[in-house]
Amino acid sequence: MKRRYTVAGSVAGAALVGVLVAVSSGVPAFSAQNTSGHHSVNGMAGMKGHHSAATATTSAAPVPAEPTATEPTATKPADQAPPGVSDDDGPDATASADPSAPTATPDAPNDHNMPGMTAQPAYGPNLDPGESDTVSPAVKGIAPQQSFNPGPDVSTHHEFQANCYMSHHAANDPIVFPGMTGASHLHTFMGSSTTDADTTTTSLQSGKTSCITPGDKSGYWHPSVLNGDKLVTTAYKQTIYYKSGVSDYRTVQAFPRGLRYVVGSPTQTREEFENHPGTVEGWECGDSADNFEIPDHCAEGSYLNIRMQAPSCWDGVHLDSADHKSHMAYPVYENYRKVCPSSHPVAVPMVEFKMAFNVSGDMSKVHLSSGTDWSWHYDFFNGWDAPTLSALVKHCINGGLQCDPRGFDLYKPERGAALNQNYELAS
């Protein structure tokens, strides 16, 4: 049976003090601080083996092949998926039905408080001056047509990719611990380089992005993966899918400005993780698949992979909620079709993280900064340029295509692309 990790100490999983050393590929070293430079990372305590602050091996976010003004300035590796990861995904997995969740209140149960961890504050999201956490008037959902049948000539896919490199690592979480620097376990960030404890909708736009689409300055983050005291990274781009979670993919609408949410929980049980409506695959490496604990051994040269789906139905009103989940819901089944529940009538893109970590061989010391192997979860904070996101949703998701980050379907080249060669909207 694989070892378990518990979280304790004054700050759960905060680690990796000082400058992180670059990998032998020559990528420049960067600090374990947020890229913005104001927030340091506290020491880790309480993980099995008493992981002390240590120098870790990692790499900065490489630049894609087509540089833009908003992208990092490091060397990009070969444009390919890591071993064991395919860029050509199969048909969408069917998610389990999920009961519609009530709107949370400030007194809602807190699933991010753990022994020795900074207590989550009362609900109060980071907002820009004049910004509200509600949308008025409420956004209306598009009613699906029960008779809709796309026919065999239409792809079973309705998606596009966001390809993003790891950007920075810090013990911050602007959704769960807004304004509380160093209060969370260690997170690995992708997307906007400015994401820190004080992140707002506007601040996401103020820096660069580690995504190859310059219009995507969203904040994406998840608990960091460590091998003993060493941070596990990858020089490859990570894959974040934007899919339709409902049967009538023509009803999917782009995210509203400022939407944010959390998928999963660091305190979830193994059973909750295994049966989570958004779990597609557990931990995988080499020929070892469908694990809900990290395997004790992975074939040399393989990558540790995991996938998980986010809810794709929004209540049309709240950009956040006290538990950071209740304003979102998973689709339910109605007449054998996936639809949004009446409490959350707006179909939005279903975000699916497909992460790959460069670690193999003896995995006995590989663990998450958040604790158990089933504590995997992730956060999303929408920072897309609205016209760019709308164009990709309309062309790829509503159009029933299987698109790359440019909005191009290799199997239907006659349909064209949503973006130009620089991953930008054509003028």
Q: In 3D, which of 85, 353, 71 has the Cα closest to residue 221?
A: 353
Q: Could you list the residue range(s) of the whole structural domain that residue 313 is in?
A: 13-427
DSSP string over 6-26? ---SSSBT----SEEEEPTT-
pLDDT of residue 343: 98
Maximum Cα–Cα distance across the chain:
60
DSSP string over 279-290? EEEEEEETTEEE
pLDDT of residue 61: 36
Domains of the chain: total: 1
pTM: 0.79
Q: Report yes or no on 271 lying in a domain.
A: yes
Q: Report yes or no on 3 lying in a domain.
A: no
Q: What's the pLDDT tens digit per position in 318-332?
A: 999 999 999 999 999
Per-residue tokens: 182: 């160093």
Buried (b) or exposed (e) across 312-323, using 16+ Cβ within 10 A? bbbbbbbbbbbb
Q: Report yes or no on 96 lying in a domain.
A: yes
Q: Report yes or no on 1 lying in a domain.
A: no
* pLDDT by 10s per residue, the chain, length 427: 455 444 433 333 343 433 333 333 333 333 333 333 333 333 333 333 333 333 333 333 333 333 333 333 333 344 455 654 444 444 333 333 333 333 333 344 456 665 556 788 899 999 999 999 999 999 999 999 988 877 666 667 899 999 999 999 999 999 999 999 999 999 999 999 999 999 999 999 999 999 999 999 999 999 999 999 999 999 999 999 999 999 999 999 999 999 999 999 999 999 999 999 998 889 999 999 999 999 999 999 999 999 999 999 999 999 999 999 999 999 999 988 999 999 999 999 999 999 999 999 999 999 999 999 999 999 999 999 999 999 999 999 999 999 999 999 999 999 999 999 999 998 7
Q: Report yes or no on 8 lying in a domain.
A: no
Q: In 3D, which of 42, 54, 34 has the Cα closest to residue 10?
A: 42
Q: What's the pLDDT tens digit per position in 369-404?
A: 999 999 999 999 999 999 999 999 999 999 999 999
Q: Report yes or no on 295 lying in a domain.
A: yes
Distance CA 270, CA 1 (A): 14
